[in-house]
Structure 1
Amino acid sequence: MEFLVAAVVLVGAISVVNILLTVGVVARLKEHTALLARSGHGAAAVLGVGEMVPEFTTTTVRGETLTTGSLGEETLVGFFSPSCDPCKELVPEFLVHAQVAGDRQGRPVAVVVGKDEGAAEFAARLSEVATVVVEDLRGPVSGAFGVSAFPSLVLVAPEGGGVAVRELEPKLLTPQGS
């Protein structure tokens, strides 16, 4: 009988230690999630909704100047990396959206991050329907938007003399019946 009581006490003590350790791990995970969000990694990959886009100036692949002020009404801005598999999957949907919504919302902007051969292929595909910028990771546009994860989509619009983020990861439009 004493053996049985000792076993039950031991199992109870191990269970209490397990619960305490689990609570500690959950608390640390919450801390790390908050740190990642503040550092620009993880879930907070771009400016937040309502935030103003800082001023930037860059040159498109066609040699045109693109600035914060040249972003029109309801401009979709997409950030892509040729080394990112989800980006490769999203590009066709982005192209369809640009063709369908282009007349209503204006020409979207596609930012391709990277300077290799893959970036040139992405830029060529996207330049048919979008204003395309090819730059390094902290280039003028991706730096202004605070992009650290790919793909990232942002809908921006003029607001109060500047340009503000209206929506993060907007649902892309596709033609009816597809």
Structure 2
Amino acid sequence: MTVLTTAVVLLAVVTALHVLLTFGLVTRIRELQQQVAGMPAKDPDLPRFGQVVAPFSVTDLDGDPISEADLAGPVQVGFFAAGCAPCTTMSDWLAKEPPATRFIALIDGDPAADNTKRLIAKLSPLGRVALIDPEHTSVLAFAITSFPTLLHLDSGVVTASGSRPSHFTGTPLPVA
């Protein structure tokens, strides 16, 4: 009887381990499917992989126009709001890990405010910067629902998107 009890307990332990392993594999497969689809995990409101940017026009701080024509080839576009803590985190990350390709920063903020000036000073060395408001056509053209949002684009098509640096872990960055 002791042998039979030991065998049943051993079989129960092996079955429980198998169920846990299967659950872990299913979870990992779902994460990988989201990455292949260009969607960072747990953030379905971001622009999706394959989305084409609609026409828009904005003027950068140097007075030069930026439009969908400027999205030819690989480019990163970031949307930021002055005074937004997650935007500060994202801009700090970008300052430490500069984009390997062209970069465009679109900032919602009052040009006279100190927090806007700090954000501009941090992002200007990375590429072109323009000031926008949340209802600007560029926000609609890129389907932005929250700040910050960072997009990797290739010829105006979204190849990756995220609102936190962790969304880009393991994501190949566009290179010019």
Q: Which bin holds the TM-score, normalised by the shorter protein?
A: 0.5 to 0.7
Question: What is the aligned partner in structure 1 of residue 108 from structure 2?
Answer: 113
Match of 1:145 among 142, 145, 165: 142
Q: Is the 8 A contact 1:47 1:165 kept in 2?
A: yes
User: Could you list the runs of 5+ residues in structure 1 that have no partner in the other structure?
Assistant: 1-41, 174-178
Question: What is the aligned partner in structure 2 of residue 136 from structure 1?
Answer: 133
CA distance in 2, matches of 1:88, 1:172: 18
CA distance in 1, matches of 2:127, 2:169: 14
- Report matched runs for 1:15-164 at 5 Å: 43-98=43-98, 101=100, 105=101, 107-116=102-111, 117=113, 118-158=115-155, 163-164=156-157
CA distance in 1, matches of 2:136, 2:126: 22
CA distance in 1, matches of 2:51, 2:84: 27
* Superposed CA offset, 1:2-57 (max 9, x none): xxxxxxxxxxxxxxxxxxxxxxxxxxxxxxxxxxxxxxxx9444432111100111
Tell me which amino acid in the other structure corresponds to 1:164. Answer: V
Q: CA deviation at 1:165?
A: 0.8
| Residues 133 and 49 (structure 1), Cα distance of their counterparts in 2 relative to 1, 3 Å cut | same
How many residue pairs end up in the alignment?
123
Question: What is the aligned partner in structure 1 of residue 24 from structure 2?
Answer: none
CA distance in 2, matches of 1:119, 1:143: 22
TM-score (norm 2): 0.62
- The residue matched to 1:143 in structure 2 has which SS? helix
* Superposed CA offset, 1:74-99 (max 9, x none): 2111111122111112212112332x
| Residues 97 and 140 (structure 1), Cα distance of their counterparts in 2 relative to 1, 3 Å cut | farther
CA distance in 1, matches of 2:149, 2:127: 15
Q: Does 1:165 align with 2:162?
A: no
* Superposed CA offset, 1:111-167 (max 9, x none): 111225122321122112221111100213222112121211111111xxxx21111
Q: After the TM superposition, which segments of 4 or more aligned residues of structure 1 sit over 4 Å from their partners?
A: none
CA distance in 1, matches of 2:75, 2:64: 17
Larger radius of gyration: 1
The alignment-based identity, stated in percent, is: 23
TM-score (norm 1): 0.62
CA distance in 2, matches of 1:135, 1:172: 28
CA distance in 1, matches of 2:136, 2:120: 16
